[in-house]
Structure 1
């Protein structure tokens, strides 16, 4: 599993995830701190990474573009510190790895994880 952490997540979480064996980059480490969401999606697609974010716009962009990749993990829990984010993402990866590898929009809330396979609005 390869992750790309969005700007709203702690930079130190990338270090903790790497220590746990997850290939992780933070947008701040690769000069994309001010990048638009579409640029981050494109970078994740090119590098075959899953985006982890606090931003709801990523799921919207996946829907509008009928994207099948990259997967996006949206965390809807605020004020988590780096270790808590790391533990949360490790649990999400453990629970959802197969879905994430095939393209999924994952929403993490305090009491549940919701998984939707991509594309979010398949052609009918």
Structure 2
């Protein structure tokens, strides 16, 4: 599974995930730090990446467009440091792998993980 980390997440998380063998890039590494969410979605689609974000807008954009990809993981846990975020993502990917590969939005909270398959019906 390949990941694209959104702005607001520690860029060093991408390095930690790569060290763990996961193909990961941060938007800053590909000059998309100031990009619109739609541009990030398109880049993730082109490259077959799962978007990792803190932003609820990605879920809304996918719902409005009735898209079937890319998958998005939204983190709703505040102030995670790079290593804790990397560990969390490894766990979430293992637990939700089949859904993410088929197209899903995953919301990660401190006490639960919610998965909704794409396309989202509004």
TM bucket by the smaller chain?
A: over 0.9
What is the CA deviation profile of residues 19-66 of structure 1, one whole-angstrom value per residue up to 9, with x for unaligned ones? Answer: 011000000000000000000000000000000000000000000000
> What SS class does the counterpart of residue 52 from structure 1 fall into?
strand
Q: Please, what TM-score do these two structures have when normalized by structure 2?
A: 0.99
Deviation >4 Å, runs of 4+: none
RMSD of Structure 2 on Structure 1 (CA): 0.8
What is the CA deviation profile of residues 86-123 of structure 1, one whole-angstrom value per residue up to 9, with x for unaligned ones? Answer: 0010000000011000000000000000000000118x
**How many angstroms does 1:85 deviate by?**
0.5
Q: Distance in 1 between matches of 2:21 and 2:9?
A: 18
> What SS class does the counterpart of residue 60 from structure 2 fall into?
helix
Aligned to 1:119: 119
Aligned to 1:36: 36
Aligned to 2:73: 73
Gaps of 5+ in 2: none
Gaps of 5+ in 1: none
Q: Please, what TM-score do these two structures have when normalized by structure 1?
A: 0.97
